[in-house]
């Protein structure tokens, strides 16, 4: 009992100290870990801090790459993953221009006005690289240590990964097409304006594989096969081989990472863990979506440990990390995923201040029922009847007003998770997605400070 109390007091003291120092954090130039760079196969100092930037976030959320810079978030990341690149039905990396899906206009064709540009200079029509990719190029000029990776797949665009990985020939062609498009930078140039040979060269520093999931069902149209498990190992090896060959011509190391699942059943169905990690620089581990509005019970979506009263079997961050370690994953290559959003239910009755209560459905929200950005949830705390509840032992927080329940990670939870990353000697933290943070980049600054290695 005394030990548990001491741990709780330590967490609370750390959170209090962090809040007092957050506004006075030293500038990027004075912070040693902002300049720390991972190199080949995880040889690094300090912790990785990986953030996903969503292509579509520039629209409704108005989260531009300039905002990423101006908020101070870019200076506190080691890696920026751009979501997403697509895989074609014939197993190639390509710029998807399909209505309602791909958006080459956002990627590299849109002339960005001065007010949204990282350097304050407007794009001109017909330049080789406009849009988000052009802004990434400008961002890297200001943050030369920031590593930018193209993330392939995601929930909606993992449809054809299994086909691309199916044979040695298909793997070679797939990997070659990705390197040609994103690293050599040979963008399509159908109308004679943006794009063209080499237009994107130098922007991306590697490739992130976000296949959801090898050997397991994903989105409704996603192809999966039992042999995906071995084929994913072979695909990762082929990426490593071709990235190294291309890197030798450029005298540099191109990084290879993967996003991997929380569910032990999905791990066993899709990953030869020891073999896969030999060729990955690191993997980001799903630490969220443990529960959501597709279920009828209000529950945690990203708890560090299983809360008391949960029905087994249950997910948690610690159980997920243990599952990967038990299967042979190296600690230093596991990067814990953290959500910048919450999951919510409405019509919630019973439970423990709403936790484990019965619901009538997902809570109304800004973009998608049952899903809300951190910045919106933070504004609800202490207002309109919403109260913040915590389970310090479990490392989880939620909002509840007697009817609506939101489970989310706030700065206090992030500090607990950072302490866990340190204690378990993990590689660092990943966040999905940066556009969920507030304009002051509160969550990103919290993680940076909590993982700072002097």
Strands 341-346 and 334-339: unpaired
Q: At 343, list the tokens.
A: 């999951």
Strands 396-400 and 341-346: unpaired
φ and ψ of 425, to 5 deg: 55, 45
Contact 135, 221 (CB under 8 A): no
Residue 81's nearest CA partner among 180, 176, 210 is 210
For 142-295, where are the E strands, in sequence order?
147-153, 206-210, 255-260, 282-285
DSSP string, 410-449: -HHHHHHHHHHHHHTT--EEEEE-GGGS-TT-HHHHHHHH
* Total Cβ atoms within 10 A of residue 259: 26
Whether 372 sits among the annotated catalytic residues: the reply is no
End-to-end, the C-alpha distance of the chain in Å comes to: 33
431: helix, strand or coil: strand
Distance CA 171, CA 166 (A): 7
Residue 344's nearest CA partner among 397, 305, 383, 307 is 397
DSSP string, 86-110: EE-TTS-EE----TTS--HIIIIIS
212, 238, 255, 372: the catalytic one is 212
> Dihedral, CA atoms, 236, 241, 242, 243, nearest 10 degrees?
80
Q: Look up residue 352 and give its DSSP letter.
A: B
Distance CA 388, CA 409 (A): 11
Contact 342, 436 (CB under 8 A): no
Contact 395, 12 (CB under 8 A): no
3-state secondary structure 390-413: EECCCCEEEEECCCCEEEECCHHH
Distance CA 132, CA 153 (A): 18
Which residues are known catalytic residues?
Answer: 212
């Amino acid at each position: 009992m005394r030990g548990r109390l001491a741990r709780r007091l330590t967490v609370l003291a750390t959170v209090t100290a962090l809040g007092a120092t957050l506004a006075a954090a030293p500038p990027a130039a004075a912070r040693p870990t902002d300049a720390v760079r991972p190199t080949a196969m995880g040889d690094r100092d300090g912790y990785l801090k990986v953030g996903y930037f969503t292509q579509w976030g520039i629209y409704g959320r108005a989260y531009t790459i300039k905002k990423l810079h101006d908020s101070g978030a870019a200076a506190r990341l080691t890696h920026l993953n751009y979501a997403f690149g697509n895989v074609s039905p014939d197993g190639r990396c390509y710029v998807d221009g399909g209505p309602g899906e791909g958006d080459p206009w956002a990627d590299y064709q849109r002339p960005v006005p001065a007010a949204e540009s990282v350097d304050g200079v407007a794009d001109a029509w017909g330049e080789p690289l406009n849009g988000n990719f052009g802004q990434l190029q400008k961002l890297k000029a200001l943050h030369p240590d920031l590593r930018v990776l193209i993330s392939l797949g995601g929930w909606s665009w993992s449809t054809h990964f299994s086909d691309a990985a199916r044979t040695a020939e298909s793997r070679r062609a797939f990997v070659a097409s990705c390197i040609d498009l994103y690293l050599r930078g040979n963008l399509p140039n159908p109308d004679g304006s943006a794009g063209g040979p080499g237009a994107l060269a130098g922007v991306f520093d590697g490739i992130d594989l976000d296949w959801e999931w090898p050997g397991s069902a994903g989105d409704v149209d996603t192809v999966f096969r039992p042999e995906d498990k071995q084929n994913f190992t072979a695909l990762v090896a082929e990426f490593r081989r071709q990235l190294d060959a291309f890197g030798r011509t450029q005298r540099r190391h191109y990084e290879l990472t993967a996003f991997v699942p929380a569910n032990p059943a999905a791990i066993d169905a899709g990953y030869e863990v020891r073999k896969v990690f030999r060729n990955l620089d690191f993997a980001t581990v799903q630490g969220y979506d443990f529960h959501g509005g597709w279920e009828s019970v209000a529950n945690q979506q990203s708890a560090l440990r299983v809360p008391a009263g949960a029905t087994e079997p249950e997910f948690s961050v610690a159980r997920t990390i243990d599952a990967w370690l038990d299967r042979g994953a190296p600690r230093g290559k596991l990067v814990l995923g953290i959500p910048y959003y919450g999951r919510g239910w409405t019509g919630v009755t019973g439970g423990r201040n709403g936790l484990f209560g019965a619901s009538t459905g997902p809570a109304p929200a800004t973009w998608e029922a049952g899903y809300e950005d951190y910045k919106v949830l933070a504004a609800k705390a202490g207002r309109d009847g919403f109260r913040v509840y915590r389970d310090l032992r479990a490392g989880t927080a939620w909002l509840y007003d007697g009817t609506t329940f939101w489970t989310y990670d706030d700065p206090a939870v992030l500090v607990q998770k950072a302490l866990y990353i340190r204690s378990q000697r993990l590689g660092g933290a990943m966040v999905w997605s940066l556009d969920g943070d507030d304009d002051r980049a509160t969550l990103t600054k919290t993680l940076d400070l909590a993982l700072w290695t002097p």
